[in-house]
């Protein structure tokens, strides 16, 4: 293990030893920004493996300046070029100077000797980011689920993708229902007096004017007497008016029409008129 102290002014780190710090009660001067600070205050121990050494330099021997006599403290040694040169001065503090290769330091910044803390912080950051992404995807999924029908109105082309999504979520994508976008293009109510006088036949053509596919509407047929008063009313669903070969049909595409034919018994009814409405149940 090695002792390292950090300059609070420029965050430069220096390798020191206990003898150097005890020589002047821990007071040192940064060789980079010249700030005086107490080396004990930011002293930590790090593994030798995290220390980066500059290349070996050949230089002539350095004559150590004499240290004022202090009975209890031995003479402060000079730190080799591997780390940093240390000398005393008249301010009675240890001067921490950069090594001969000023572009390299034993430990460049506090990020290096705190590198043992980085993996834990980085791991926490990755887990936090993953959790945020998961929550965002969950929120998007909920929005899509709740508004899946409205999304098909805004962008009809995404219906296949929404149906795949619902296949996973065990849901369906209902077709839009905007009754104002429907129109009755033609209708007729007739009796075949010669062949089946008791049967009345309703024929109608309905059209989807919406720019998107819509669910099939229901029909409300109201039969009226000679005074236009209601005699009877009945609602027919798509399963009632679709032909046998079209029973599985659930929607009509945009700008498409469908032909409707209904036969019902009206032998007991005195009917002279009718009213036909489209609606969603």
Rounded to an integer, the average pLDDT of 102-118 is 45
Residue 95: predicted pLDDT: 67
Cα separation, 65 vs 24, in Å, equals 16
The model's confidence at residue 193, banded by pLDDT at 50, 70 and 90, is low
- Sequence ranges of the domains in the chain: 1-116, 118-169, 179-279
pTM of the model: 0.48
Taking each helix axis from N to C end, the angle separating 118-146 and 159-169, rounded to the nearest 10 degrees, works out to 110
- What percent of the chain is predicted at pLDDT more than 70? 71
Closest residue by Cα to residue 203 from 260, 258, 241: 260
State the Cα–Cα distance between residues 112 and 90, nearest whole angstrom. 32
Q: What is the mean pLDDT of the chain?
A: 76
DSSP state of 180: G
- Compute the distance between CA of residue 62 and CA of residue 41 in angstroms, rounded to an integer: 30
CA–CA distance, 103 with 83 (Å, rounded to integer): 13
For residue 71, count other CB atoms closer than 10 A to its CB: 4
> Could you tell me which residues are beta bridge partners of residue 19?
none
Rounded CA separation 211/61 (Å): 91
* CATH T-level topology, domain 179-279: Coagulation Factor XIII; Chain A, domain 1 (2.70.50)
pLDDT, one tens digit per residue, over 3-59 is: 888 888 888 888 887 777 777 778 888 888 888 888 888 878 777 666 655 444 334
pLDDT for residue 200 is more than 60:
yes
């Amino acid at each position: 293990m090695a002792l390292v102290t950090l300059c609070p002014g420029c965050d430069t780190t220096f390798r020191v030893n206990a003898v150097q710090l005890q020589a002047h009660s821990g007071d040192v001067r940064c060789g980079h920004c010249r700030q005086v600070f107490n080396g004990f205050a930011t002293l930590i121990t790090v593994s030798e493996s995290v220390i980066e050494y500059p290349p070996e330099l050949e230089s002539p021997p350095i004559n150590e300046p004499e240290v004022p006599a202090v009975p209890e403290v031995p003479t402060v040694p000079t730190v080799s070029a591997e780390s940093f040169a240390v000398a005393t001065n008249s301010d009675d503090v240890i001067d921490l100077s950069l090594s001969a290769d000023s572009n390299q330091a034993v430990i460049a910044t506090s990020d290096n000797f705190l590198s043992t803390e980085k993996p834990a912080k980085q791991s926490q950051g990755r887990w936090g980011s993953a959790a945020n992404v998961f929550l965002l995807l969950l929120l998007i999924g909920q929005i899509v689920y709740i508004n899946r029908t409205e999304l098909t109105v805004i962008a009809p082309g995404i219906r296949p993708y929404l149906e795949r999504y619902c296949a996973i979520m065990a849901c369906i994508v209902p077709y839009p229902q905007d009754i104002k976008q429907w129109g009755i293009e033609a209708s007729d109510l007739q009796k075949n007096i010669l062949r089946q006088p008791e049967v009345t036949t309703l024929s109608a053509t309905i059209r989807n004017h919406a720019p998107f596919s819509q669910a099939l509407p229901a029909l409300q047929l109201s039969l009226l007497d000679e005074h236009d008063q209601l005699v009877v009313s009945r609602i027919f669903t798509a399963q009632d008016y679709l032909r046998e070969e079209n029973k599985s049909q659930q929607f009509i595409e945009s700008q498409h029409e469908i032909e409707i034919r209904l036969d019902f018994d009206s032998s007991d009814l005195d009917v002279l008129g009718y009213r036909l409405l489209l609606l969603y149940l």
